[in-house]
Structure formats: structure tokens, C-alpha cells
Amino acid sequence: MSLKSERRAIHVDQSELLCKKGCGYYGNPAWQGFCSKCWREEYQKARQKQIQEDWELAERLQREEEEAYASSQGAQGGQTSLGFTKFEEKKSNEKARKVTTVKKFFTASSKSVPKKDPEEKSGKPVQAGGRERSADILRDLKGLFVPPWELASSAEVLYDKLRDMKEAKAPSPSLTRQYSIETDRVSKDFIEFLKTYHKAGHDVYKQCKVFLETIHHKKESNIDELSEFTQDFYQNTADKLQMYWKVPPNKVEEAMDQIEKFIMTRLYKHVFCPETTDDEKKDLTVQKRIRALHWVTPQMLCVPVNEDIPEVSDMVVKAITDIIEMDSKRIPRDKLACITGCSKQIFNAIRITKNEPASADDFLPTLIYIVLKANPPRLQSNIQYITRFCNPSRLMTGEDGYYFTNLCCAIAFIEKLDAQSLNLSEEEFSRYMSGQASPKKQDTDIWDADTCPGVKQMHRNLDLLSQLSERQERIVTGAKKLEKDLIDWTEEVTREVQDIVEKYPLHIKANSQALASIDSENVEDDRLPPPLQPQVYAG
Amino acid sequence: MAAGGGGGAGGSSSSKTYSFKVVLLGEGCVGKTSLVLRYCENKFNDKHITTLQASFLTKKLNIGGKRVNLAIWDTAGQERFHALGPIYYRDSNGAILVYDITDEDSFQKVKNWVKELRKMLGNEICLCIVGNKVDLEKERHVSVQEAEAYAESVGAKHYHTSAKQNKGIEELFLDLCKRMIETAQVDERAKGNGPSQSGGARRGVQIVDDEPQAQSAGGCCSG
């Protein structure tokens, strides 16, 4: 992510541009500093010489084979039966075929490299012919591209030219690139897409092609140089689209995505996990590390995801699938999309478990847990590849960049993880790491990762059922006890009541006083005030 | 975008859009998430928050005719993830360091982060120290004077906020954006207006350059 604002200045001296032979024409680094004519002359000599040698070698080999065959024929000649001759014949045929194959192989370098050789690591053996051929193609390309102002309807013509070019290129497999179906499809889409940009699209296509050729010649150089070169290319193209062609920003972004797709589909093979770096070693280290940490439980990481909820465990599985899928994508942007997809699943899982939006405090531990569970293939290579060749505007700002950063954090954490970061004692940690002990696991964790989920579910269900029946028994016992208690209690109450009744027998006394009646005449009338009497005043 | 850390995207100055990355640092439970959710969604502790996550949020602003795209990156605040800080705050234009005014420890944490940020990113980054939960003034454990004096000593600004009562949050982000725009402008001026243009042009030449040269070479062959 060398996104320093100041970029490598390109310092080119006039003298460096001229042909090394001093013919006055411009030279080209692709032709080792010669102009194309001088380069051809120089190269022709070397090539002729090699072809000669190859021929000689092939011929010698054939001669030797023939001699060997003749001598074996002579030695066994006396005792050959009819059947044996037949066998010999077969054998000699086989030998002859072998010889021609060898011959073919040697002559190949002068004409064309075998087209579909699966062993061939495309690009690696920059054969004599390959280089020459690609130079030719480059020139063809240049010839094909008439300046835009000479094109009547640039898009139409461009399309036709491209088609012609493809056809023209088809019989020259020497470019040592194997155009897979996908690559073809991507190119077609790309051309279709660029049609909408008219002249700018034409220009972009030209630049992409030139860029690819340049990269092709730079193949042996350091991966960091290639990365910087690619990043420069992205920036230049974006700048040019915006400044020169006045393409609106959102269209620029769209175009940049397509450009990335187009060039990275082609470069993927050469720049993903290149042999010149120790990416592969790092991959293995991380993989081993994650394997050694198989015992880490969600509880240790404080993962706020409850996998007992079926919906949540589904999401966890999806997240794991997404992160593993990253390795299968070719374009950095698609790889980023996988990381984003994985993150979204994690957020969903957290949301369902906690019922609130996930913060980074929740997200990072969960992502770490997912990475530990998934152990995604070629993790470091993928990270490095994205860092080196992704369009920087996507990686620096934006959501994808955030999730990518989190993934980097997760890996950094896993690499440095120690007892303290899992809230374990040193002793426990080293015991788990050495495999002497494993933490007390929950029922759900007893099963290996590759056990069929159905079987796991069944076992879990059986456990649940046995627990249920246990509880049922307990309830039945409880109910019986309660019933007994109730019966006992009733009896006790009855007994007590009887006891009391016996102790204090009921004597019904004669009612000495009649019940008071409001209507009777003499109810406490002595306490009542005397009735009011009408008073008569005289006068 | 193109200028990465500088934060300014290319284009003519009139229609310039700034893209800023702001990291949110702070111990767990100081209310980082509530703060951004309040700012971006104007919601607090709401069961109906529709946002799926509160760890990466964006906001578009228009400050004095300048368009600003703000990307707010939440970071995991647990102690065990402290060492991962640099991966998060690399290339960021601003940092919001949140502490809980009722929790002295969280303020100490902020001090650690400030030291780290200044060491790694120098003065390029705009720092905001935020005392959150001012609605709990009665339980305050970090004195206002102390916090403000500290902020000044490290060249940061101090803010008082309450995500619960929606106090001071709008101001915090607005102020931060203004400061980031200033920094970006100073940065541009320091580089001069020239390099950004001629640099682009020069780099453009690199590819175009090949063309006439190759054409002349083609001519040499055919001739």
C-alpha cells in the first residue's frame, strides 16, 4: 500500500531512448535498447545460430537412436521368430516417434512454442521466439490503432479492428499466454463496455494493451516494482479519464473497475503468489498456526455470537464459505467482495444474537473466530495480492477497505496471539498449544469439524431427549410426592380437627336471652334520648 | 482517492470533493458506537435501529460549499486488540479519541493512543479528545480542567458530548471536518499546485511516450 502522494519520477535521458547501435532511431527497452530493425538483425544472428544447434542436436540424437536400433537388430537377427519381428517393428516405430517428438521439441523454439502444453508455466520460459513474436504483436497493435481523429466512428471501427486482431492473433500462440474462456469473455465484456466511452474507451484500451505488454516484458522484475507500476497505471488512467477526457467521476470509477478486471484477469497467473517472494512460505506458516489453534473456543475470544440459534449457525457457515471462496477469485475486487460478504454474514449473526447493531468491539473477535474456523487457503498470498494490485481508491476508502483492514488485523492477531490475549494462564496456553490437553469443550464442540451436521444434530437431539426424559421422571416423582403429601395433609387436618373436637366437646347452652330485634319495643330504649314532645307556646 | 492520505481527490478546485477517513478510538463501553450512531442515524439505544452494523459508517457533508465524504472507522477497543491500532489508523485524516468522564482508566487509555498516533502519524492527523456521557456529570471522575489542559498540550481539541442527550456531537464532527479541510489545503499548498497536475501529466506521458517511439520504430522496419 505504498500510496505516498509523491510518486516515482520517471527520469529518461534522450540518449537512453535512442537505439544502442546508434542508427538514430529510437530504441525500446523491450528490444534491449535497440530499435526494432537493429534488434531484428542482432537477434536473427543469435536465433539462426540456435536453430542450427538445435537441428544438429536433434539430428545427432536421431542418428544415435538409429545406430542403436541397427546394432540391436544385428545382434538379435539370428534368433528372431516371426512374432518377435513384429514386436521389434512396433518398438522401432515407437522409437521413431520418440525421435520426432524430440525433434519437434527442439525445432519448436524457432517456430512456435507448443500451444497447449499444460506443463508450461506461461510466461516463465521467455523463449527466443516468444519475445520476438510479442514484439511483432506489439507492432501490429500499434499499426492497428489509428489515431482517434482518423476514425469515423471510433467505437465501431475499434470493435472491428479488435475482432480482426483477435483473429489474426489466434494462429500465433507464441505469446505464451493461454487465453482461457474466462479471459476471452472478460475481454469481450471489456470491449463492449468501452464502447460506451467512445474515444476515451479507445484510448483506455490502447493504454491497457501497452501496459500489459510492458508488464509482460518486465516479468522477471521484482513484484514490488510490478505493483508500483500497476498502481501508477491505475492512477494515470484515472487522472487521464478525468482531466483529459472529462469523464464524470462516477463513470471513471466504473471504468477503473472494468480496467482492473481486464488487466488482472490476465496478470493473475504471473503476479499471484510469485515465486520471487516468500508469500507461499507465509501462507504455510499461517495455515500451521491456525491449525495449532484449533482448540480456541468462542468463549475465549468473547465472540458475541450464539451458535445454538440455528439461524446464526447458518450465517456462521455462510461466512466461512465466503472467506474460503476468496481464494478462487482472480480479480482483487472480487476477492474484496468475498471479504465483504463474509463480514455482512457476521454482522447479521451478531445482530440476531445481540439484537443491536454490531460495533467493531463485536465484529473483530467474531472475524478472528471465523478465520480460525475457516483456515482460508493461501491467506497471506491473497492479502498481498490485493494490497499490491487492487485499485487503491477502493482499498483506502470505502466499506470494502474497512473489512479488508479488519481481516488484516485478524491475521495479525492470530499470528501474535498468546495466553494473555485469550485470558488464559501461560501454563494452560502452552499445554493447549502442545496438544497435551484440550479445553473443556461444550457438547457441540466434541465433534470434528468434518462430521456431518445431521449426525451432530442427531446426537444433540438424543442428548436433549435423554435430558427431557430425566426431567420427566423427576416431574412424575415430584407429582407423586405431592399427591402423597396432599393426602397426608388432609388426613392430618382431619385428625387434628377430631382431636380438638374431642378435647373441647360441643356444649350447646340454652339461649338465655332472646335475640335482639330492632323491631321489638324495648331495645335499649333506656339509652335513647326521650322522644321529642311538641311544645306549646302561649300567645 | 488518488491522493490517498492527503484526502483530496483530483479535479478542479470548484467541484472538489474531500474524502476523509476518521478512526474512532476508545476503550470498550465508553460509548463510541452510540456516538457515531447518534451522529449518522440520530438514534440512541433504539430497538428499531435499522443499521446492520455500527463499525463502518459514512456521512456526506457540505461545509461552505465544499463537499466532504466522511468515512468513520470504528476500532475494537478491547485491551487485547491494542497492538492492532496502527493497522486501523494508517492513512487516516482524523482520530476521535473517546473516554468516559466517569471512568479515569478510559482517559488514561486515550493518553496512550495520543502518544502512539503522534509517533506514527506526526502532526498530519487531526485529533479530537471527547469526554462522553456528560449527562452523568454527578459521577464525573475526570476533571474538565485536567482533560482540557491535556488536550491543549498535545495539540488536540477537547469536546464534551452526550450521546444519550445528543449534546455536542454535531459540533464535534463539524469542527473536525473543518480542521481536516484546512490540513488538506495546507498540504496542497505545501506541495504546490503544480506537482499534482504536472505530475499526473508527466506520468501520463510515460505510457503515451512509448507510442511515437514505437511508431517511428515501425517506420524503420517497413522502410
CA-CA distance, B180 to B173, in Å (whole number)? 10
Alpha carbons A517 and A538: distance in angstroms, whole number:
41
Residues 38 to 77 of B: which have CB under 8 A from any A CB? Answer: 47, 49, 51-56, 58, 69, 71, 73-77
- Closest among B97, B100, B123, B101 to B110, alpha carbons compared: B97
For the cut 50, the answer to whether the pLDDT of residue B200 exceeds it is no
Contacts of B221 in chain A (CB under 8 A): 36-37, 40, 139
Query: Is A339 in contact with A326 (CB distance < 8 Å)?
Result: yes
Q: Give strand pairing partners of B22.
A: B72, B94
Q: Hey, which bits of A201-280 come out as E strands?
A: none
pTM for the model:
0.61
Chains A–B, number of C-beta pairs less than 8 Å apart: 175
The separation between the first and the last C-alpha atoms of chain B, rounded to the nearest angstrom, is 46
In chain B, what residues touch A412 (CB-CB under 8 Å)?
A: 83-84, 87
A353 neighbourhood in chain B, CB within 8 Å? none
Return the bridge partners of B128, or none: B96, B157
Per-residue pLDDT of chain A (539 residues; tens, 9 = 90+): 444 444 455 555 666 677 777 777 777 777 777 777 787 787 778 878 888 888 888 888 788 777 777 776 655 544 444 444 454 555 555 544 544 444 444 444 444 444 444 444 444 444 444 455 555 555 555 544 444 444 444 445 445 555 555 444 444 444 444 556 778 888 888 888 888 878 788 888 888 888 888 888 877 778 888 888 888 888 888 888 888 888 887 888 888 888 888 888 888 888 888 888 888 889 999 999 999 888 888 888 888 888 888 889 899 999 999 999 999 988 898 999 999 999 999 999 998 888 888 888 889 999 999 999 999 999 999 999 998 888 887 777 688 999 999 999 999 999 988 888 888 888 888 888 887 777 765 444 455 556 677 888 888 899 999 999 999 999 999 999 999 999 999 999 999 999 999 998 877 776 666 555 556 566 566 677 777 888 878 76
B92 touching A (Cβ < 8 Å): no
CB contact under 8 A, A236 and B51: no
Q: Quick one: which of A387, A389, A379, A421 has its CA closest to A405?
A: A387
Q: Do B49 and A302 touch (CB under 8 A)?
A: no
B204 touches chain A (CB under 8 A): yes
CA distances A415 to A39, A81, A286, A287, A418, Å, are 51, 72, 7, 10, 9
Cα separation, B6 vs A108, whole angstroms: 53
Q: What residues of chain A lie within 8 A of the CB of B222, using their CB?
A: none
Q: Look at A249 and B17 and tell me if their CB atoms are within 8 Å.
A: yes
Say how far residue A33 (Cα) sits from the centre of its chain: 41
Q: Which runs of consecutive H residues, i.e. helices, occur in B43-168? A: 85-89, 104-121, 144-153
Contact A232 B203 (CB under 8 A): yes
